[in-house]
Chains A and B, each alone.
Chain A
Amino acid sequence: MDRDGILELLTDAAVEVMSVERDAVTPDARFVEDLDGDSLSVLEILEILQEKLDVDLPTEAFDGVATVGQAADVITGIVSEKAAAG
C-alpha cells in the first residue's frame, strides 16, 4: 500500500479514535495539539493500522512523530520494508 492509502487509513482511524471531523485530519495536523488527542490516542490509532495492514508497528518507531503526515511516512517505510523482505 502506498503513502496515500496509508494516509486514508490514518484519517479513518483518527476520526474513530478522537471523534474529530474528517476535514481536520490533514497531513500537517498534530495528534495532540490539533486533534484533541492524548498520550494514548496515537497508540490506539496504530493498533487499528496494525490490524488493517497486518503488520507490526513498534511504538519505538514513532518516537518524535507529532503529525499525521509523519506517522504516514514511518508506516509507509515499515510496510515497504516488509514488502521488500517478502
Chain B
Amino acid sequence: MTRPRVAITGLGVKTPAGCDVDTFWSTLQAGRSCAAPIERIDPATLPVRFACEVTEFDPATYFDNKEARRTDRVAQLAFGAAADALADAGELGADPARCGVVAAAGVGGLITQEEQEYNLFSKGPNRVSPMLVPMMMPNAAAALVGMKLGWTGPNFCIATACAGGSHAIGEAARLIREGSSDVVLAGGSEACVTPIAIAAFARMGALSNRNDEPLLASRPFDVDRDGFVMGEGAGFLVLEDWDRAVSRGAHIYGEVAGYGRNSDAYHVTAPAPGGAGAAHCMRLALADAGLEPSEIGHVNAHGTSTDLNDAAEAEAVVKVFGEHSLPVWSAKGSIGHLIAAAGAVEAVAAMLTLRDEVIPPTVNHERAEPELAIDVVAGECRKLAAAPVVSNSFGFGGHNASLVLTPPA
C-alpha cells in the first residue's frame, strides 16, 4: 500500500510584511525590509531598539472582547493566520474528529507573563492574574485554534525554538500519512517583542544592533551581517489528505513530499561544525521525498543573518548540493526572524514561489562572504520554473527540521 500524499490547500499569515497572503507576498517580492523602531513597548532602555513587528493585526476581526481578554497576542496571531488558511482552503466537509492542529511556539504568552511578573514583584502574589497560566502556556495557541473550530482530533504544541514551524508542518504531514487525521492546520506563532526577550537575545549577542540603520540590519549570508532581527507573527497551512483534496475539487498549492528532523547533539546555541547536522537533516528530507539533490530547484533557507547560523547552513547546503549549485533565498532579510513562526511563514512563501515561479530577493544581501560557496538570490526577483524546494529551520537546542515542498502534480 502506498502511503497517503499530503496536499497543501490553504495558506494564512500574520506577519510584519502583511496580514494577508497577497500583501505578504508583494512585500517579499518588492525586497522591502520590515524592520523599524519598536512601537508596542518603549524600547528606550533596551540595547536593541528595533524589530519586525506586526502592525496591521486587529484582534477584533477574530475575537469578541471576552475572548480577546483571555488570550495572549501569540495565540491571537495564531488563530488569525489559521482562520485565514481555513477560509482559503474552502469548504472542507471534514469530520471534526478527523481534524487536527499542530502549532509551534517558542516561548508562549511572554507578553502576559512579563506583565504579571511585574504585578507579582511590585504588588504581591494576590495581584497575579488568574488567567496567567492559560495565557502563558506554550500550547495555548494550539488549544485556541482547536476550541474555536471545534476540532477534536490530534492537537498539540511543538516547542523546538526556531525550528518549530517546520517541525509542526512535518509532524502534521505524518498525522495524515499515518491515517489519524484527514485535515491538519499546521503552523507556528510568536509574539516576543518584549523587554525581557529583547534584552536576553541581545545579551547573548544573537541580535543585530544596527539601531541607527534598522532597514539594513537583517542581511542573511552577507559578509557584514551582525545578528538576527527579532520578528513576530504567525503562519498556518491547511494540510489535507491528497485524495480527499482532489475529490472535493480543492485548489492544491503543492505537497509536503518530504520531512527530515534530527539533532545536532552538540551545543545549546551554536550549530555543529560544518553544518553537519543540518546537512544530514536535508538528506533525511530528500530521502523521505524520494528525490535526488539534483531534482531540487532552490533552498528556502533558515538564513537568520547570524554569523554562525548562516555559515553553517551554507556549508550544509554545499555538502548536500555542491558549490553554487542552486539558488538559495532567505525571507528573513525582509521580515526578520519569527522564531517558532519562521518555518511556517517561510513554507507559505515557498508555496508562493512555486505558484508564481519566482524567488524574491534576499534583502540586504550585498556582498557574499567568499567562503560561503552558495548562490544567494539577491537584488531582484529571480524567475525559476516550479521545482521541489527544500525549506530549512534550525533551532537553539540543536533541533533541525527540513521540508521538501513540491509543486502540485
Instruction: Write the residues of chain A forming the contact surface with B, with a CB cutoff of 8 angstroms.
Output: 16-19, 40, 43-44, 46-47, 50-51, 56-59
Contacts and interface: CB of A to CB of B under 8 A. Distances in A.
B127 A18 contact: no
Contact of B130 (A16, A40, A51): A40
B66 A18 contact: yes
Contact of B131 (A18, A40, A56, A58): A40
Given A16-B69, A17-B69, A44-B69, 9 more contacts: A18-B66, A19-B64, A40-B130, A43-B130, A44-B70, A50-B126, A51-B127, A57-B126, A59-B130
B65 A16 contact: yes
B66 A56 contact: no
Interface in B127-143: 127, 129-131
7 contacts: A16-B65, A16-B69, A19-B64, A44-B130, A46-B130, A51-B127, A56-B124
Contacts of B70: 40, 44
A17 B66 contact: yes
A50 B127 contact: yes
B68 to A, nearest CB: 10
A17 B131 CA distance: 12
Contacts of A50: 126-127
A40 B131 CA distance: 8
Interface string B68-83: 0110000000000000
Contacts of B124: 56
Given A16-B69, A17-B69, A47 B129 contact: yes
Main secondary structure of the interface of A (DSSP, over half): helix
Contacts, number: 31
Complex A-B, nearest 10 residue pairs according to Cβ-Cβ distance, in ascending order: A43-B130, A56-B126, A19-B66, A19-B65, A19-B64, A47-B129, A50-B127, A18-B66, A40-B130, A44-B131
Contacts of A56: 124, 126-127
A61 to B, nearest CB: 11
Contacts of A46: 130
Give the size category of B's interface with A. 10 to 19
Contacts of B131: 40, 43-44, 47
A16 B66 CA distance: 7
A40 B130 CA distance: 7
A47 B119 CA distance: 11
A52 to B, nearest CB: 12
A59 B126 CA distance: 9
Contacts of A47: 129-131
A46 B130 CA distance: 9
Contacts of A19: 64-66
Interface in B50-67: 64-66
A58 B70 CA distance: 20
A46 B128 CA distance: 11
A34 to B, nearest CB: 15
Contacts of A43: 130-131
A47 B70 CA distance: 13
B127 to A, nearest CB: 6
A8 B70 CA distance: 23
Contacts of B127: 50-51, 56
B126 A58 contact: yes
A51 B124 CA distance: 12
A44 B129 CA distance: 7
Contacts of A58: 126
A57 B129 CA distance: 12
Interface string B95-133: 000000000000000000000000000001011011100
Contacts of B66: 17-19
Contacts of A16: 65, 69
A56 B127 CA distance: 7
A58 B125 CA distance: 10
Contacts of A18: 66
B368 to A, nearest CB: 54
A60 to B, nearest CB: 11
Nearest to B132: A47
A50 B125 CA distance: 12
Nearest to B134: A40
Contacts of B126: 50, 56-58
A43 B64 CA distance: 19
A51 B129 CA distance: 11
**Which residue of B66, B124, B127 has the most chain A CB atoms within 10 A of its CB atom?**
B66
Contacts of B69: 16-17, 44
A32 B69 CA distance: 18
A26 B127 CA distance: 27
